[in-house]
Amino acid sequence: MANMSLKKNPMPSQDPKVRAHNFDEVAIGYSEETAIDEALRCLHCKNMPCVSGCPVNIHIPEFIEKIKQQDYEGAYQIISETSSLPAVCGRVCPQESQCEAKCVRGIKGEPVGIGRLERFVADWHNAHATEAPVVPAPNGHKVAIIGSGPSGLTCAGDLAKKGYKVTVFEALHLAGGVLVYGIPEFRLPKAIVQKEVDNLKAMGVDVETNMVIGKTLTVDEIFEMGYEAVFIGSGAGLPNFMNIPGESLKGVYSANEYLTRSNLMKAFREHPVTPISKGGRVAVVGGGNVAMDAARTALRLGADEVTIVYRRSLDELPARKEEVEHAMEEGIIFKLLTNPTEILGYHNPDDPRDPKNGNVIGMTCIQMELGEPDERGRRRPVPIPDSEFTIDVDTVVMAIGTSPNPLIKSTTAGLEVNRRGGIVVEEATGATSREGVYAGGDAVTGAATVISAMGAGKVAAKAIDEYLQSK
């Protein structure tokens, strides 16, 4: 009997007042009863529009059917046929613009909570499954994956399932890429990422940390070592800055640096070994998911006041709706249609050795209005003359995107990159201009989502398999 409620079962979450001061996960997850109740909202449409909205084409109605039958492990097996990281995707995918956007129930009312169900199934599996993953029979081919973020882990998982001997080379000391250095604990607990990495290792995937490809080894040397194909999933690169005065003052961070200090280096702990500014007034410049993560991290680090400064309006905020709502509930201030023009620093005219010299004390901003649409159809923000004002801040986090990392392209002859430095690939296969070299994720597209990177890893794994089997 279908559940015809127009509303999704709400996600149980920590109280905003409480969670603003801890790093525990915000969303608590569905109970079994709630999951079954939500599963009953699925109409099992014949044409399965939701599946076409998923970048990795999870067989959504099938896994939801298994939930109804209370066969949660069965549901997990269906998801893992196509997705390597269900516990991650169930948490960080922008379902509202993917599978759930296509859900028929969404026409009149809210779509089925597909993401929440996926998370329930993955968490159930992680809590109950005892069987080690099946180690596939080796097929004798070796493939190297550069980067252990979402695209690399997905590509590695898919190839390992087919019997390839896969080695993942990671530049940092810990595997997971943006899942460990970028996305905060309260949105994606690191134990979950570790579990996914451990699953891959149990399937025979080798993870080599402290290997900076382009420095420690080059792509050519990887081939010389006997690898027959290489997937580049090296992720986002150097942080962008606005090129306004004051960006080198003490207290100005890129979002990458701020989040890496807190997440990867555990600066959020009480006695950290890696420092980070805590407390005071924090401004985060930008409107994407990374900006929301930085702002909510600042709050949890003890900031008195956190402000998001974004040059367009609420409707244009590129962050997931849920993240924006969570941020607002937690008390983050949104200064929209606002753009910084200068960051102001302390200067003691009487004492050039005053240690406070160069500390951030404020930020001058200008009011913006929306003008004509740009080439992508988004209305371009235009400054309103003489509308400058100053806000008092102690810390500024720049979350305005990244540019591709130069290390691999500068050491790999024949690897074509575009004007912005992104690796050029054939979209249907992820193939680059070098034979046997594939790429995907932010290294190709520039900053994007976890699931689109996973989709790219999946596409490349299939293409690598076809390439090596036809060789």
Partner 1 sequence: MYRITKKESLNPTVTFMEVEAPFVARKAEPGQFIILRVDEEGERIPLTIAGCDREKGTVEIIFQIVGATTGKLNHKNVGEYLQDFVGPLGKATETEGLKRVCVVGGGVGCAIALPVARKLHELGVEVTSIIGFRNKDLLILEKEFAACSDQLIVMTDDGSYARQGNVTVPLKEMLEAGEQFDEVITIGPLIMMKFVVLACKPFGVPVTVSMNPIMIDGTGMCGGCRLSLVQDGKRVTRFACVDGPDFNGYEVDFDEAMQRGAMFRDFERQAYEEACNLFREVKA
Residues that bind partner 1 (CB under 8 A): 171-173, 181, 209-212, 215-217, 235-239, 241, 243, 247-251, 253-254, 256-257, 260-261, 264-266, 273-275, 355, 357-358, 405-407
What is the chain's length?
471
C-alpha triplet 374, 376, 378: angle, nearest 5°: 60
Looking at the Cβ atoms of 71 and 247, the one nearer to partner 1 is 247
Looking at the Cβ atoms of 275 and 377, the one nearer to partner 1 is 275
Q: How far is CA 346 from the centre of its chain?
A: 35
Minimal distance in Å, beta carbon 389 to partner 1? 25
Minimal distance in Å, beta carbon 342 to partner 1? 13
Instruction: Report the C-alpha dihedral over residues 174, 177, 178, 181, rounded to 10 degrees.
Output: 20
Minimal distance in Å, beta carbon 444 to partner 1? 17
Q: Can you tell me the distance from the alpha carbon of 249 to that of 25, in angstroms, rounded to the nearest whole number?
A: 33
Minimal distance in Å, beta carbon 256 to partner 1? 5
Query: What is residue 205's three-state secondary structure?
Result: coil
Strand bridging mode 333-335 / 338-345: unpaired
Minimal distance in Å, beta carbon 214 to partner 1? 9
**Sign of the dihedral through C-alpha 454, 460, 463, 464:** negative
Looking at the Cβ atoms of 110 and 247, the one nearer to partner 1 is 247
Looking at the Cβ atoms of 59 and 278, the one nearer to partner 1 is 278
Instruction: Report CA-CA distances (Å) from 16 to 23, 266, 325.
Output: 12, 22, 11
Looking at the Cβ atoms of 115 and 246, the one nearer to partner 1 is 246
Looking at the Cβ atoms of 65 and 247, the one nearer to partner 1 is 247
CB-neighbour burial class of residue 292 (10 A; exposed 0-12, middle 13-18, buried 19+): buried
Single-letter amino acid, residue 82: T
Q: What are phi and psi of 470, to 5 degrees?
A: -90, -5
Query: Taking Cα atoms as reference points, which of 254, 250, 258, 251 lies closest to residue 242?
Result: 254
Minimal distance in Å, beta carbon 407 to partner 1? 6
Single-letter amino acid, residue 291: A
| Residue listed under structure tokens 């100005």 | 252
Minimal distance in Å, beta carbon 357 to partner 1? 7
Looking at the Cβ atoms of 274 and 387, the one nearer to partner 1 is 274
Looking at the Cβ atoms of 62 and 257, the one nearer to partner 1 is 257
**Does residue 378 contact residue 215 with C-beta atoms inside 8 Å?**
no
Q: Can you tell me the distance from the alpha carbon of 287 to that of 307, in angstroms, rounded to the nearest whole number?
A: 11
Looking at the Cβ atoms of 164 and 181, the one nearer to partner 1 is 181
Looking at the Cβ atoms of 347 and 378, the one nearer to partner 1 is 347
Looking at the Cβ atoms of 260 and 412, the one nearer to partner 1 is 260
Minimal distance in Å, beta carbon 216 to partner 1? 5
Minimal distance in Å, beta carbon 151 to partner 1? 16
Minimal distance in Å, beta carbon 397 to partner 1? 11
Q: How far is CA 319 from the centre of its chain?
A: 11
Q: Can you tell me the distance from the alpha carbon of 438 to that of 448, in angstroms, rounded to the nearest whole number?
A: 18
Q: What are phi and psi of 123, to 5 degrees?
A: -70, -35
Minimal distance in Å, beta carbon 215 to partner 1? 6
Q: Can you tell me the distance from the alpha carbon of 312 to that of 221, in angstroms, rounded to the nearest whole number?
A: 46
Q: 213 — alpha (psi -120 to 50), left (phi > 0) or beta?
A: beta
